[in-house]
A and B are shown apart, each in its own frame.
Chain A
Amino acid sequence: MIAALAFKNLTLGYDRQAAVLDLKTEIAEGSLTAIIGPNGAGKSTLLKGVVGAIAPIKGQILLGALSREDVAYLPQQSEIDRTFPLTVTDLVAMGLWREIGPFGRIRRDHRAQIDTAISAVGLTGLERRLIGTLSGGQVQRALFARLLLQDARLVLLDEPFNSIDARTMADLLNVIQRWHGEGRTILTVLHDTETVRTHFPHTLMLARQLVAHGPTAQVLTAENQFRARQMCEACEGPPHRCGRSVA
C-alpha cells in the first residue's frame, strides 16, 4: 500500500489543548475514507492540520509525494462572502488557480473545463447568476465544481452535506465516486453513519485518539461506537489524563 498521507504520533490542537491526541496511522493512496466520531472528537481539526492551517503540537503529518498544490480542501463553513459580486462561473473559475496563478489568462479550453465542471454538479444554466442569489445547496454544488477544477490528488471534505437537500447530496456523492474512480485520495468528515456505510469503503473512527481505522464494515460496529463515546466523555479534562485505557 502506498501511503498518500501518514500521521505519526500526531497531537493537534488549539492553545495547547489537544483536539487530536497521539494519532498514528496511514491513509492509502486512492482510498475513499470517511472520518467519523462523536462531537468534539477532533475531526475538523485533523483536516485543518492536513491542509496546513494549524501546526502540530507534537508529531508529524507526512504528505508523501504530494505538495500543497495537490491538496484541495472544502471547509465545513465556507467563509465566502455571499454578497460579493461574483457569478457562479467566477467562483468555479477560482479552481483554476493552480494552473493559471494570479496572472494567467483564462483561455478557451479553460472555459470549456469550467462549463464541464458546472454541468457535472448540475448547475447548468446558472453560470451567470450571482452567488448571493443561490440557495445553500446550489452554493455547495458550485464549491464542488471548484474542487473539480482544482484537479487535486488529495481531496479533503469537512461535513460537505450539512444543510443541503437530498437531491444535491446524491449528486455530490456521485462526484465523489467519480473522483474515487479517478484514483484520487479522498478524506471526508461525516456524521451520518448510513451514508458512510453505503458509500465509503474505508472509515477512520476518531475520538480524540484513534478508535479504529480500516474497512468500514469492520470499523463501524456498535462496540467501536460505544468505545468512542466513552473515550470522548472521559476526555473532558486536560489531555494528560486521557492516558488511561477505557476498555
Chain B
Amino acid sequence: MKTKRMLLKSAAVILALTVAGPAAAQANKPIPVVATFSILGDMVERIGGEHVAVATLVGPDGDTHVYQPTPADARAVNKAKVLVVNGLEFEGWLDRLIDASNFNGMRVKATDGIEPIAFEEGDGHAKHDDDEKHKDHEKQDEHAKDDDHGAFDPHAWHSLSNAVVYVDNITATLSKADPSNAATYYMNRAAYVAEIEALDADIRAIVAKLPADRRTVVTSHDAFQYFGRDYGLTFLAPQGLSTEFAVSAKAIANLIEQIREQKIPAVFIENISDPRLLKQIANETRAAIGGTLYPGALSAPNGPARTYLRMMRHNATALARALGS
C-alpha cells in the first residue's frame, strides 16, 4: 500500500510536470511583438524585458509618416502575437499592411485614453503636403488618400503624462497576451513610470526657470504641440502657417516679423526634415539655431536620443538651453 501511494504521488508529480512543463517552457520563450516605430519599440522593451522579442518597423531616424512597408515587415507582423501602434492616423500605411499580413494577434493602440489635440484649420502637416518636394513620389496619391494626419495631432508621446497612458495600454495588452509573465510586466511598468514621473518633474523645473517672455520656439516640424501644452511652451512652424503645399514668401515674411517682434531666441532643426529653410529664417532674425530636436523617432544607438526617456530629456534640455541663453 505504500508502493501504491508512492506510485500515485509520482504519477501526480509527473502529471503536474507534464502540464507545467510546456507552460514553463512557454513562459521562457519570448513572445514576438511588433511595434510600428522606434519610440513604441523602446517602451515595449522596457516593459517586456526578456519576455518579448520586439521588431520595430520604422527604425531610428525614420519618418513614420512616409514609411513604405516591405514584405519582411508583413512577415514580422504575421508572426507577431502583439502589435503596438500609435493611432490617431500616424501610421497611414498600417491598415494595408495588416490586411496583407493576415495578422491575428492582439492589437494595442497606445493613444487610447489620452486627450488628443485637434489640428486647427490651416494648420498641420504642410510639410508632408509639400507637393513640390514629393513630386516624384508615386505614393503621393496614397499619401493624400490615407492622410497622414486625421483630425488629431498624433505626436502624443511628447507629453510625459500621455507616455504613462501609453505604457499602461501596452502593459495591459502584454499581460493579456502573456498572462504567465503579467506580474513581471507590471513590475517593470511601475519602475518605468517612476522614471517617467521623475523626468517630468525635472523638465518642469527646467522650464520654470525660463522667463515668461522666452517660451516660444520655431521648429520646422509641427510635432511638439503636446509638449507645449504640458509645459507651457509655444511652438511655431514655418510651413504650418500655409494652408497647402509649399511655403509662400508671405508666410516666411510673417514668421520673420513675428520672431523679430517677439524676439524669439531660438530656431530648431530636426533630424528628419529640411534644415535649410530654418537656417534661412534664423539668419535673417539673428535667432540662434538651437540644435537638433527629435520629433518622431529615436536617434541611432550611438546618438543622444537612443531611448524614449533620453529623447525627451534631450529635447527638453536643448529647448531650455536655447531659450535660456
A–B in direct contact per CB < 8 Å: no
A contact set with B: CB distance below 8 Å: none
B contact set with A: CB distance below 8 Å: none
